[in-house]
């Protein structure tokens, strides 16, 4: 009887895990060319000691070649636009402009993430939407 119970448990484990493996979708990698274009949204300061601040943030992606992303980032309140060459790994775009490191996650027609600097009061949360040409 214990052998029968063991065999039944083993059968349930094997068939159950195979059924679960079929229902979980594999992660998809976005089309890198989906990044090309203009993106606009809001940058929100996330440093408690620096006070609240929000401003416009624009991103222009000119081209994507392999894992390299070429573009410009613009936060009008802080100065002129900055050109960059970033990297795309999976659905995460990372680039540097001056002392700022920006890491954004692509999800459909939305980019979101953080812009970090050396000082706590220069860290921003970003949320951008792709601007569709009409």
The reported pLDDT for the residue numbered 20 is 43
- Give the model's pLDDT for residue 133: 80
Instruction: Look up the pTM and report it.
Output: 0.74
Token representation of residue 67:
């894992």
* Sequence-ordered list of residues with C-beta below 8 angstroms from that of 117, at least 6 positions apart, any chain: 99, 100, 101, 123
pLDDT value at residue 56: 95
CATH number of the structural domain 32-130: 2.40.128.120
Neighbours of 100 (CB within 10 A): 20
The pLDDT score that the predictor gives to residue 8 is 47
Higher pLDDT, 58 or 132: 58
Q: Strands 82-89 and 37-45: what pairing? A: unpaired
Tokens 């992606």 appear where? 61
**Domain residue ranges in the chain:** 32-130
Asked if pLDDT for residue 101 goes beyond 90, the answer is: yes
Question: From CA 85, how far away is CA 120, in angstroms rounded?
Answer: 25
Band the pLDDT of 52: cuts 50, 70, 90: confident
DSSP H helices, the chain, are: 2-23
């Amino acid at each position: 009887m214990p052998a029968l119970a063991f065999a039944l448990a083993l059968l349930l484990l094997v068939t159950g895990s195979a059924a679960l493996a079929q229902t979980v979708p594999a992660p998809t990698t976005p089309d890198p060319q989906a990044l090309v274009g203009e993106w606009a949204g809001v940058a929100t300061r996330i440093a408690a000691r620096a006070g609240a601040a929000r401003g416009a943030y624009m991103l222009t992606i000119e081209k994507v070649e392999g894992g390299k992303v070429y573009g410009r980032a613009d936060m009008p309140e802080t100065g002129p636009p900055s050109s960059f060459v970033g990297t795309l790994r999976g659905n995460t775009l990372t680039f540097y402009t001056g002392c700022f490191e920006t890491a954004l996650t692509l999800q459909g027609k939305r980019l979101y993430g953080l812009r970090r600097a050396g000082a706590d009061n220069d860290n921003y949360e970003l949320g951008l939407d792709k601007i569709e040409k009409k």
